[in-house]
Structures are given as structure tokens and as C-alpha cells.
Amino acid sequence: AQSVSQHNHHVILSEAASLELGCNYSYGGTVNLFWYVQYPGQHLQLLLKYFSGDPLVKGIKGFEAEFIKSKFSFNLRKPSVQWSDTAEYFCAVRSQGGTSYGKLTFGQGTILTVHP
């Protein structure tokens, strides 16, 4: 079965610092990749997604992620975080084959706290 690993459980930054959240997945075939965010008191919502093409994808609120197939990684980045980016971030993978076909598998989540 596929698995998704997020490197950090809790990241604490000051405003204007750069952010990189790591995400690695286990499935070796074709995958669709997602980053979701959950702001305090709100629903999970999509930040960005990758299906094919340019491995650098841009999402909402200045976030971007890079798919590196050889490293099975899909790291999330933002050059300069704001206090309003405080939230929990989830990496998710949907494989196009294997025993986990079609199932959206989430990482454990990374809590980001941004201090003003």
C-alpha cells in the first residue's frame, strides 16, 4: 500500500521567513499529488495539485510545490510566510495503479505556526 511521509510535525517561523515542508510518498508508479491546508476553524481546502507536465506547480496564496520523481518527493514552498499562513498542511497522493488505486492517501500533517 502506498504511504505518505511528511518530515516535520510542527514548524515554527517568524513572518517573512521562507518555508519548505517536505513530503515523500512510496508508490513507484504514476501519481497525482496534492497539498491541502486547514486553517484554524475552517475546512480542509486545496492549496495546489500536480498531475503532469511542469513539475513546478503554483497554488493559491503564493505557495508552490516541486515534484521530483526520482526522489518521490513533492515539497511545498513559500518564499515569505505571513501570520495568516498559520495552519495545518497535508500532503496527499492518489496513485493510478497498485493496491491503493484511486485512494487519496494523506500524510500525517505539518502544523505551521507563524509568529508576527
Partner 1 sequence: KAGVTQTPRYLIKTRGQQVTLSCSPISGHRSVSWYQQTPGQGLQFLFEYFSETQRNKGNFPGRFSGRQFSNSRSEMNVSTLELGDSALYLCASSPWTSLQETQYFGPGTRLLVL
Interface residues toward partner 1, by CB under 8 A? 1, 32, 34, 36, 43-46, 49, 51, 90, 92, 94, 96, 101-109
Amino acid in the structure at residue 42:
Q
CB of 113 to partner 1, least distance (A): 17
What number of other Cβ atoms are within 10 A of residue 34's Cβ?
22
Q: Measured from the CB atom, is 11 or 17 closer to partner 1?
A: 11
In the bound state with partner 1, the residue whose beta carbon lies nearer, of 81 and 100, is 100
- Measured CA to CA, the distance from residue 31 to residue 37 in angstroms comes to 20
Choose between 1 and 12: whose C-beta lies nearer to partner 1: 1
Q: Which residue intervals of the chain are DSSP H helices?
A: none
Collapsed DSSP state (helix, strand, coil) of residue 62: helix
